[in-house]
Chains A and B, each alone.
Chain A
Amino acid sequence: MSDKKTIPTIQRDVVVIGGGPAGLAAAIAVKEAGCDDVLLVERDRVLGGILNQCIHDGFGLHIFKEALSGPEYAARYIKQFREKNIDVMENAIVLSLTKDRVVEVSTRGKLQYIQAKAVILAMGCRERTRGAISIPGHRPSGVFTAGAAQCLMNLENIMVGKSVCVLGSGDIGLIMARRMTLEGAKVQAVFELLPYSSGLPRNIQQCLNDYDIPLFLSTTVTDIAGRSGRLEGVKVAQVDENRAPIASTERFVPCDTLLLSVGLIPENELTRQAGADMDPITGGAIVDDTFMTSVPGIFSCGNVLHVHDLVDWVSVESEQAGKFAAAYAKEGYKAAANRIQVKPGDGIRYTLPQSVSGEDDFILSMRVTEPGRNRRVVVKNGDKIIRKKEVRLHPAEMIRIKVGKDVASGGNAMEVSVE
């Protein structure tokens, strides 16, 4: 570390890492909060992040009250970002981050160390791959994550295959099943390990049912065949209640392409490097209601914090993180007088933030463990029920509940459960 001190260090009030929807909204909010010295670092050559390849519509219904495509949604934020003259480094990758908020940035021919008063982590997430779910078999070409195929088709004009199976019913997999069908491929089927779909109901309808693409639940890929170099087909089998394949149900499905839509992983290498405490369920940092991690001055928002299903909520959350990061840069660390832990109870997989001060209203984000109808989400502060909301429960859909400071203050533990 000592050699790093010899390299000139640039001072910045706020550095935002990542120029996707989270980073854009956060940087704009920092500027709007009156903090002018903000720099956004983006590794791609353009801003917008993954939205650029999400050409389907349905983005922005909450924020803009219209159904925009991903690139249009990004363009609205990029326009605001440019109008505010916010500094940006494109084609720049952050190599390291210390707990003292020194950001090591590599650009073509140049390595820079930036000392930030506050850092906003907005690196997004990446896809789980074949390796992450350990599918045995040959290693032919033709096995793609759904997002990689989406990038190749929508941005690079490369058609990835003609006869397609999809493993995993996450939204990207469903969207890609439709996209490949529209481009003339035959999508044989979507296979989902779980007994329910992990994608939004509207995508089951408009991406699968509309095109007669079958969805097989409680089914997984057990083998990949393609000794010749290209995928020749996959073996699939139903699984039992312990998700173990049932050998007698195994069958071979010929195909030249397998798309994997088997989950997203928040991209938190820098977060860990800085020493932030992590939540093993979300895969992101543990934050309070200002979106600050356990490392003072380091904030986290968007898909790097927890994977969202709607970009609108990424933007809303990131605006909050930006606002609080700007205040931190200006005023420094102010410990909250009280710290109320928020814990997931029965039927709740996780809640976020993991702790609150009780001094402000806040939005509680959560996901449930299993689908259900006519159930309620209940928030308790100590033994007292402070919030009850009737919602349709689906693990694919993030639930957001506003909790007022009038009921949040006092107590030292909150629990959220399904009843």
Chain B
Amino acid sequence: MSVKKELTCVRCPNGCTITVELDENGKILVDAEGKLAIGKEVACKMGDEWAKQEIENPMRTIASSIPVENGDSLMVSVRTDRPIPLAKIFAVMDEIRKKTLKAPIVINDVIIANPAGCDTDIIATRDVAKAG
């Protein structure tokens, strides 16, 4: 017995509803061309790929802020530069929360490489100059 499942795509603000069909083992059903068996409401080409990923291993991006010593701002905002597995988010946050940084920091600086063993870097998303 297959079951239908509605997913909300999080790749962009459109937030398309993608309906997928899963077999009895929870595997996503695709047609001969590898496309989703159902789910034609998707606005873009990335929907199919995203839905498969979402069923197998949902991926998310996260953002946070890290305190900065001696900066012209108290904190620097950071984010993952590629999505990480949803299940790893708290492990990655644990590493981010241990950090304190020193100014100067430049946008796109790698703050933590491969946190919690994930294939992503935590990058700065703003400049913080030395307090002056």
Contact = CB atoms under 8 A, between A and B. Distances in A.
A242 interface: no
A310 B8 CA distance: 18
B107 A72 contact: yes
Interface string B117-131: 000000001110000
Interface residues of B, number: 33
Contacts of B17: 201
Contacts of A70: 77
B75 A202 contact: no
Contacts of B7: 205
Contacts of A202: 8-15
B10 A69 contact: no
Most buried by A among B15, B79, B97: B15
B111 interface: no
Given A71-B126, A75-B127, A61 B75 contact: no
B13 to A, nearest CB: 6
A205 B8 contact: yes
Contacts of A310: 13
Contacts of B125: 55, 68-69, 71-72
A323 to B, nearest CB: 25
B63 A55 contact: yes
Interface string A282-312: 0000000000000000000000000001100
Interface stretch (A27-35, A140-148, A154-162, A215-223): A154-162
A57 B90 CA distance: 18
Given A202-B8, A204-B8, A157 B65 contact: yes
Contacts of A72: 107, 125-126
Contact of B12 (A52, A61, A184): A61
A205 B15 contact: yes
B10 A182 contact: no
A209 B7 CA distance: 11
B123 to A, nearest CB: 9
Interface string B1-24: 000000111111111010000000
Given A61-B12, A75-B127, A69 B75 contact: no
A55 B64 contact: yes
A58 interface: yes
B12 A153 contact: no
Nearest to B125: A69
A39 B131 CA distance: 27
Interface in A155-210: 155-157, 182-184, 200-206, 209-210
B62 A182 contact: yes
Interface in B64-79: 64-65, 67, 73-75, 77-79
A205 B15 CA distance: 9
A65 B99 CA distance: 31
Contacts of A58: 12-13
Nearest to A48: B126
A75 to B, nearest CB: 6
Contacts of A206: 10, 60
Interface string A42-63: 0000000000100111100100
The 10 closest A-B pairs by CB, nearest first: A201-B15, A202-B15, A55-B77, A71-B126, A205-B8, A69-B125, A202-B10, A55-B63, A206-B10, A154-B65
Interface of A: 52, 55-58, 61, 67-72, 75, 153-157, 182-184, 200-206, 209-210, 309-310
Given A55-B65, A72-B107, A201-B8, 9 more contacts: A52-B126, A55-B77, A57-B79, A58-B12, A71-B126, A154-B75, A183-B93, A205-B15, A206-B10
8 contacts: A52-B126, A55-B125, A61-B12, A67-B12, A69-B77, A75-B127, A155-B75, A205-B10
